[in-house]
Amino acid sequence: MAGKRCRNIHFTARRRPRKATTARRGVRTRAPETAAPTPPVVTFTRDDLAAKLISLNVPSAREAQKSADRALTNVFAAIRHALAEADLTIPDFGTLRAARRETGREIRIRFHPDDKLKQAVEARLHAGP
């Protein structure tokens, strides 16, 4: 009879406080050598973008450079003008939105990329070096 009574009594041992550790038991952390490599940072200057706009059918390189520079100037001016009036959405590229912060009255311009742009960037990042 006494044995049956003891079965229902649960003794709780006093727990020691845990040491402050970053890794817990059973939780696997990723080793730094297996982490994905960071993609190289490539910055395009205005001249680089203009070179991408140069068409091959222009007779001379100087005329091509001038026309590409004019086109790029017009694109940036159009974006500035559109953002001055309202939000700007460029199909298959993304949305530019200007907003003012309430606390500091600071103007912030945010860019939300379109799905096609995200897919193109993800394809480049997953392709590797």
Q: List all residues 6 or more positions away from 4 whose beta carbon is below 8 Å from its beta carbon.
A: none
pLDDT at 62 (0 to 100): 82
pLDDT at 115 (0 to 100): 92
pLDDT at 82 (0 to 100): 83
Residues in the chain: 129
Positions in the chain short of pLDDT 70: 1-44, 55-59, 128-129
**Tokens representing 93?**
């590229």
pLDDT at 33 (0 to 100): 55
Span 15-33, pLDDT tens digits:
555 555 555 555 555 555 5
Rg of the chain over all Cα atoms, to the nearest angstrom: 30
- How far apart CA 96 and CA 84 sit, in angstroms, is 11
Which sequence spans correspond to the domains of the chain?
40-85, 87-129
